[in-house]
Structures are given as C-alpha cells and as structure tokens.
Amino acid sequence: MRVSLQVSSALVLCQAILGVALPAVEKRATTTTASGPQFTNGQPDDGAGRGGPILGGTNKQIDLDNPDNLGQQSTDNGIVPNFKWRFSDSKTRIFRGGWLREQVIQDLPQSHDISAAQQHLDKGGVRELHWHRVAEWGFVYAGSVLISAVDEFGRYQVEKLNYGDIWYFPKGVAHTVQGLEDGNEFLLVFDDADFDKAGTTFNVDDWIAHTPRDVLAKNFGLPASVFDNVPKPNPNIFNGTVSTKNVTDGPAGYLSGNASFVYRTLQHEPEKVPGGGGEFYKIDSTNFPASKTLAATFVRLKPGGLRELHWHPNAEEWLYFHKGYARATVFVGNTNARTFDFGPGDTAAFPDNSGHYIENTSETEDLVWIEVYKSNRVADIPLTQWLALTPADLVAQTLKIPIEIAESLKKEKQVLIA
Ligand SMILES: *[C@@H]1O[C@H](CO)[C@@H](O)[C@H](O)[C@H]1NC(C)=O
Ligand SMILES: *[C@@H]1O[C@H](CO)[C@@H](O)[C@H](O)[C@H]1NC(C)=O
Ligand SMILES: *[C@@H]1O[C@H](CO)[C@@H](O)[C@H](O)[C@H]1NC(C)=O
Ligand SMILES: CC(=O)N[C@H]1CO[C@H](CO)[C@@H](O)[C@@H]1O
C-alpha cells in the first residue's frame, strides 16, 4: 500500500514537473511484470514483483549484453564493485602505421596489479624503440611481428612471432616491435596498473630530442646534425618498411634457451585437463624462465563448458576475453557476490583470492581467453578438490549433504569441465 502510494505520488510529481500525463508508462510496467523475467529483454524485472522497466536513459545494447548487471542472478548479493572494462570504451590512439587502446587503473580501478592494451601494426608499422620501468608481456593474436630486444649484459634477441607466441621483456629491457603481415595485432600486458604515470615509458627519439646537441655529438662521436631529423614529438607508432637487416657480432651473444624472451605457446603441450572441457596452456616461470613477474594461461573452453569453481592463492587475476561469450560470478566474501557477462574485447580483474568460475554461455562457439597474474607462477585451489581432500564427514556436516556424496567428490583438479 505504501509502495503504491509512493509510486502514485511520484507520478503526480512527474506530471507536475513535465506537464504531461504518464499513464502509458504505468500500463507498460504492469504488462512487463505479467510476462515473466525481462532480463534478456534488457529490463531489470524478474517478472515476479522485483524490479521494473527502465524508464530513463539507458544504453539498450549494453543492457542486452549484460543481463547480470540487471539483477538476473538471484544468488548475487551486496555491493560489489565493477570488475570489467571493455576495450571498446577505451580511447583509441590512431597513428600512421597502426593503433593502440589501453586499459589502465584509471579505467578499471579494481585492477591493481596490471594494465594492458591492444595494439595493431600495419605491415612495416613500428612501435618505435623504447623501454619501460615495468615488465612487458605480449601475445600475438593476428598476423606476425618482429621483436628486437637488448638486455643489461648486451645480449640481444631478434625474432619473428606468430599466432599464440608470447614475449616477456623484463623491466628496463630495451625493445621494439614491427608488423610483418598485412594486419598484425597483439595483447600487451604490464605488471603495473598505473601505466600512463610519468616515468613509465622512455622512447628513443623523445630522449634524443631532449638531449643537448653537443652532448649527442660527444656521445656518438658524430656531428650533431646527424640527428636534425629526429621526430619531435616522438610518434609512438609510425609507418615503415619491413626490416631486412640482421644483427650480428653482439659481444655478449644471443638471448636463447632459458634466457629467451620468447615462448611459443602452441609448440608446447597443453596442461592436462581431466574435466575434458577444452584446452589450457600455462605460461609462467616454470616453463618460460624469463617471465618472472607475470604468469599466464591461454584457455579454450568448449560450448557449455565450465572453468571449475576455484581461487588463486597467490594473486589478483587479470583477464582478456578474445572470442566467444562468458559468464562469471565473483564471490568476494562476507555474503557478497556479483555476476558478470563477458564478450570479445572485454577485460576484467578479479580480486586476490576471490572465488569464481567462468562459464561458456554460447551454444556453438568456443570461448577463448587469457589470464595474467602478477606472479612468477599460475596457482589455483579448486573447490571440489579441497572438499574431496577434507574428511568426508566434516564436509557432509558442513554442507548438510549426504556423506556418500562427499566421499565421491573428484580428488583431481578438473580445470575445465565439459
Ligand atoms: C609513411 O606515411 C607518409 C605519409 O603518408 C608517407 O609519405 C611515407 O612514404 C610513408 N612511409 C612508408 C615507409 O610507407
Ligand atoms: C638473417 O638471419 C636469418 C635467420 O638466422 C637467416 O635465415 C637470414 O638469411 C639472414 N638474413 C640475412 C640478410 O643475412
Ligand atoms: C632451464 O630452466 C628450467 C626450468 O626453470 C630448468 O629446469 C633447466 O635446468 C634450465 N636449463 C638450463 C640449461 O639452465
Ligand atoms: C551448448 C551449451 O550447453 N551452452 C550453454 C552455455 O552456458 C549457458 C549458461 O551460461 C547455457 O545456458 C547453455 O546451454
């Protein structure tokens, strides 16, 4: 009674402010409620008396893509911050030679450990020579690129990378990347969330342009006029021609074997996935020794598959969704949980140690994503394995389930359940 009184006084107020009558709205609300849950129609209405239609401004497409933001999951509870960022909401910086769009802590404040970007290089396009005060990790998902790097010992590496290949440049290692095919694109991940902070990236021409000319002359033993055409401001990405020169005679040799900054994911066996739900590659310092501050997985989950309920004892989880559609609920403790819907180009950061799953919500399409942790290793504890390796009677008493069920739980990690 009190509710309907409030509603009708609100309506009267609206009518007074807008100078219009709103009976049609009221009628639509009643109709909506009568026809079952409206989440997949983009309305926060469970069809059973909770919620109602959105009458104000809204982005219909985003509502349709994110039914869980509309309250679809009745198991969600509490105020849980947003853990998702769409690269499509980033400002794309366009250059001759390619483009770049980032996700930094100012975009996704819940990503405390990691920032990231998608970068595109045309054939011959160059991400100019530079270094960072943070480590850089890259995953090629289209075309192929040339990477070139030099470390503190004067060791160097020049390699062509293709789909699925990964690079890791430790903090401070000098490097550059060039696109080799008609279209080349990769994911960049950094082990610091505040990537745009001053003092994070150092570009070669920016430095040269801001060094006294007499010092340049002395440093290189060359006339200062050699550097008259160094671009100001530095372009970041520029169009160029594909490199044909090799580096030779490095006094400290080539970065190979365990010192290599390159890991060719698909040339290795995936991890064992007893659950049979897809493929799971782990790339961390146990198989890619250079990658000491970032650990990753590359996952393909079949339609209907589930990345089993688990948490990570060692780190916050950063995610990039490459293909397909997903749903994940993040349990953050103290009765609080929130479900998110993900599609291609979405990123996310799940809090350190929060419980979660990832489900493929497509009937037909594989779900492909990348997880990155600011850690030297990938680590998880699955719910099922935990319960299976705890005295069955304690599990049964805690969850009020039959002891036979507690005794039958799988002791091996399932990882991806079909
Ligand atoms: C880069 O773009 C500029 C401007 O269009 C053009 O003059 C130049 O020839 C291009 N360079 C290469 C290597 O394609
Ligand atoms: C550069 O090195 C690659 C790989 O070692 C070799 O195949 C290629 O012929 C070399 N190119 C030149 C121009 O020396
Ligand atoms: C390379 O690293 C792996 C894994 O850390 C280690 O088992 C192996 O002994 C190392 N090989 C060499 C030649 O150092
Ligand atoms: C093919 C298949 O089983 N797809 C499932 C994907 O996940 C959603 C739930 O998130 C199910 O509704 C689909 O049936």
* Helix boundaries (H) for 118-203: none
Q: Give the per-residue pLDDT at 10.
A: 42
Confirm whether 133 is domain-assigned. yes
Does 43 have pLDDT greater than 60?
A: yes
**Residues in contact with 72: Cβ distance below 8 Å, sequence separation at least 6, in sequence order:** 37, 39, 339
Could you list the residue range(s) of the whole structural domain that residue 356 is in? Answer: 269-417
CA pair distance 73, 101, nearest whole angstrom: 32
Does 14 have pLDDT greater than 70?
A: no
The stretch 128-138 carries a mean pLDDT of 98
The stretch 160-189 carries a mean pLDDT of 98
Last residue of a domain, one of 219, 235, 263: 263
Instruction: Please report which confidence band the pLDDT of residue 93 belongs to, taking 50, 70 and 90 as the band edges.
Output: very high
For the CA of 364, the nearest ligand: 4
**High-pLDDT (> 90) share of the chain, %:** 92
Confirm whether 17 is domain-assigned. yes
One domain for residues 38 and 94: no
* Helix boundaries (H) for 284-346: none
Q: Give the per-residue pLDDT at 35.
A: 84
Q: Which residues line ligand 1 (CB under 6 A)?
A: 96, 124, 239-241
- CA-nearest residue for atom 4, ligand 1, is 96
Does 282 have pLDDT greater than 80?
A: yes
Does 9 have pLDDT greater than 50?
A: no
Least confident span in 1-10, 76-85, 110-119, 245-254: 1-10
The stretch 277-304 carries a mean pLDDT of 98
- CA-nearest residue for atom 7, ligand 1, is 239
CA pair distance 392, 390, nearest whole angstrom: 6
Confirm whether 77 is domain-assigned. no
One domain for residues 227 and 285: no
Does 21 have pLDDT greater than 90?
A: no
Confirm whether 158 is domain-assigned. yes
Q: Which residue has the tokens 């309250």?
A: 71
Q: Which one has a higher pLDDT value, 229 or 1?
A: 229
Confirm whether 76 is domain-assigned. no
* 13 conformational bin, left if phi > 0, alpha if psi -120 to 50, beta if neither: alpha
Which atom of ligand 4 is found nearest the CA of 359? 10
Does 12 have pLDDT greater than 50?
A: no
Last residue of a domain, one of 263, 287, 303: 263
Mean pLDDT taken over the chain: 93
One domain for residues 147 and 242: yes
Q: Give the per-residue pLDDT at 30.
A: 44
Ligand 4 centroid–CA 305 distance in Å is: 8
Tens of pLDDT along 193-249? 999 999 999 999 999 999 999 999 999 999 999 999 999 999 999 999 999 999 999
For the CA of 289, the nearest ligand: 3
Which of 417, 303, 277, 321 has its CA nearest to residue 364? 303
One domain for residues 112 and 249: yes
Q: How many CA atoms lie within 13 A of 13 on its CB side?
A: 6
Ligand 3 centroid–CA 263 distance in Å is: 14
Does 24 have pLDDT greater than 80?
A: no
Does 6 have pLDDT greater than 60?
A: no
Instruction: Please report which confidence band the pLDDT of residue 1 belongs to, taking 50, 70 and 90 as the band edges.
Output: very low
Q: In the chain, how many domains are there?
A: 3
Last residue of a domain, one of 70, 105, 130: 70
356 three-class SS: strand
Confirm whether 111 is domain-assigned. yes
Active site residue 185: no
Does 33 have pLDDT greater than 60?
A: no
For the CA of 125, the nearest ligand: 1
CATH of the domain at 325: 2.60.120.10
- CA-nearest residue for atom 10, ligand 1, is 239
Confirm whether 78 is domain-assigned. no
- CA-nearest residue for atom 11, ligand 4, is 361
**Residues in contact with 345: Cβ distance below 8 Å, sequence separation at least 6, in sequence order:** 86, 87, 88, 118, 321
One domain for residues 28 and 176: no
Ligand 1 centroid–CA 240 distance in Å is: 7
Ligand 2 centroid–CA 245 distance in Å is: 8
Q: Which amino acid is located at 398 in the chain?
A: T
Q: Give the per-residue pLDDT at 34.
A: 54
Q: Which of 371, 404, 407, 412 is catalytic?
A: 371
Which of 275, 393, 405, 351 has its CA nearest to residue 109? 351
Q: Give the per-residue pLDDT at 253.
A: 97
Which atom of ligand 1 is found nearest the CA of 240? 13
Tens of pLDDT along 318-360? 999 999 999 999 999 999 999 999 999 999 999 999 999 999 9
Q: Give the per-residue pLDDT at 13.
A: 41
One domain for residues 299 and 389: yes
